Amino acid sequence: MKDRITRGGRHVRLGVVLAAFVALIALAAPLQAAPAVAALQSSDAVRVWNLHAVNALINAPNATIPGAGQTPPVSELHLAMVQGAVYDAVNAIDGGHQPYLAGLPPASPSASPEAAVATAAHHVLVGLGIAPVPALPQVVRDRLDVLYADALAGIPDGAAKTGGIGAGAAAATAMLAARASDGRYVPFSFTVGTNAGEWRPTPTVNDPFAWVAKVEPFLLQSSSQFRTKGPHALTSGAYAKEYNEVKELGGPDTPDSRRTEEQTAVARFYTVNPVELFNRTFRVIAEDRALTLVEEARLFAMLNMAGADGLINCWDDKAFWSFWRPITAIHEGDNDGNPNTVGDSGWTPFIATPPYPDHSSGYNCVTSSMMHTAAAFFGEEKMVFSVVRIVPNVPNVTRVYERFTDVIDDTIDARVYQGIHFRAADVQAAGIGKDVAHWLDKRFFQPVS
């Protein structure tokens, strides 16, 4: 079995050992070099502001103040803006890689990267309310203002602090301007069909965020750049096989369910918001791997821009194929022209069906985009790490993985076991994510020679 499950598990973090090792080296280093090295190695500014951004955009687990409650695609678009601005601000100081947005002025190498991170993240978040994009709730913006003031108060006054604030403000202004007319919140709806194979909303609600399909990508040339092959033909044997799989394994959690205990565990684990889940996961990984502030800025920009473009391409794919969900398909199984699909008008899925078409799977688009991007960033596919499901008033559940792609294998299975996707929608969505990650890896965030 590729992973194990533990409940309420605790992590023994390699970062603690590495931090102690770095501290010993710093004692032996020349005194004038030690502060810069220590600050670069130990600063948690990127991780802290990634947490603040996630909490602001999403109703994150155990957050003191509820966030804006944005859906995964919407929150990922905005998080990509935040992390892209953070990256550009830090890179303006460090200068080691290509900027995401061209034309930003370089900052002094002595400018404070912590001030740059805090300013870029804060200014993008509080600046989101440019029509037609709604602002974050006032209570969230007030909380961000307090966090920003606290962050700046911890940085000594002087030219370094002023330079960092300037770099962050410039990056945030550029990002907000670049995304001001990118298609967010421009009205668009998925087409509702009536024939076999055509999507019908269940319940009768059309995704109010279908406009994600028409948003300008961050990295890709178009929102349809990685079009999938699409769902299997209704009369094919492949469709019948997938139909019967989800019908058998994706039903409610009853004593006569055909799922194994492990399959049910996988299905239940991946019901949480993937944007919150995986950003939290990579905050732990970044700390455990003792990444520098510069490296963390690049990592979280890559992860979230890939995730955003994976979801944009996915939502475009949903609009293009407009394929029905398993619940509709199984209710109409006797009317699809396939003798090997027996209908069941009383069938229900393990979890509620989302209000948008089946093909492709959004959860797998974002998961695959982020996991393949992580493999590219670290230069290795194998890495032991944990993913922790946190739900209020429920014991934490931890899954331990040895490869980034093992997570994708689980999320593909999970959406079938949950009864909300045919397997082709999951597998092909993972293909979108992989393509997005490879596109990013070859063209963006490249080192300056």
Distance from C-alpha of 313 to C-alpha of 231, rounded to nearest angstrom: 16
Query: According to the model, what pLDDT value does residue 6 have?
Result: 33
Do 312 and 369 sit in the same domain of this protein? Answer: yes
Instruction: Give the total number of structural domains in the chain.
Output: 2
| Strand partners of residue 403 | 382
Concatenating the DSSP letter of every residue in 224-267 gives TTT----SPPTTSHHHHHHHHHHHHHSS-S-TT----HHHHHHH
Do 144 and 230 sit in the same domain of this protein? Answer: no
Do 426 and 295 sit in the same domain of this protein? Answer: yes
Q: How far is CA 269 from the centre of its chain?
A: 16
Do 234 and 345 sit in the same domain of this protein? Answer: yes
Do 91 and 145 sit in the same domain of this protein? Answer: yes
Residue 64 lies in a domain: yes
Q: Final residue of a domain: which of 158, 178, 198?
A: 178
Do 173 and 322 sit in the same domain of this protein? Answer: no
Residue 106 lies in a domain: yes
Residue matched to tokens 């069909």: 193
Residue 14 lies in a domain: no
3-state class (DSSP) for residue 69: coil
CATH at residue 75 = 1.20.144.10
What pLDDT tens digit does each residue of the chain (449 aa) get? 333 333 333 233 333 333 332 332 232 333 333 334 334 445 899 999 999 999 999 977 766 778 999 999 999 999 999 999 999 999 999 999 999 999 999 999 999 999 999 999 999 999 999 989 999 999 999 999 999 999 999 999 999 999 999 999 999 999 999 999 999 999 999 999 999 999 999 888 899 999 999 999 999 999 999 999 999 999 999 999 999 999 999 999 988 889 999 999 999 999 999 999 999 999 999 999 999 999 999 999 999 999 999 999 999 999 999 999 999 999 999 999 999 999 999 999 999 999 999 999 999 999 999 999 999 999 999 999 999 999 988 999 999 999 999 999 999 999 999 999 999 999 999 999 999 999 999 999 999 98
Query: According to the model, what pLDDT value does residue 23 have?
Result: 33
Residue 4 lies in a domain: no
And the tokens for 399? Answer: 């899954």
Do 364 and 425 sit in the same domain of this protein? Answer: yes
The contacts of residue 35 (CB under 8 Å, 6+ apart) are none
Residue 188 lies in a domain: no
Do 232 and 276 sit in the same domain of this protein? Answer: yes
And the tokens for 21? Answer: 């090792």
Residue 186 lies in a domain: no
Do 382 and 240 sit in the same domain of this protein? Answer: yes
What are the φ and ψ backbone dihedral angles of 427, each rounded to 5 degrees?
-65, -45
In single-letter form, the type of residue at position 143 comes to R
Do 108 and 164 sit in the same domain of this protein? Answer: yes
Distance from C-alpha of 432 to C-alpha of 360, rounded to nearest angstrom: 9
Q: Final residue of a domain: which of 160, 178, 196?
A: 178
Do 215 and 132 sit in the same domain of this protein? Answer: no
Query: According to the model, what pLDDT value does residue 42 have?
Result: 56
Q: Final residue of a domain: which of 126, 158, 178?
A: 178
Residue 316 lies in a domain: yes
Do 387 and 328 sit in the same domain of this protein? Answer: yes
Residue 227 lies in a domain: yes
Neighbours of 444 (CB within 10 A): 18
CATH at residue 379 = 1.10.606.10
Domain, as residue range, for 140: 43-178
Concatenating the DSSP letter of every residue in 316-350 gives HHHHHH-BPPHHHHHHTGGGSS-TT----TT---S
In single-letter form, the type of residue at position 9 comes to G
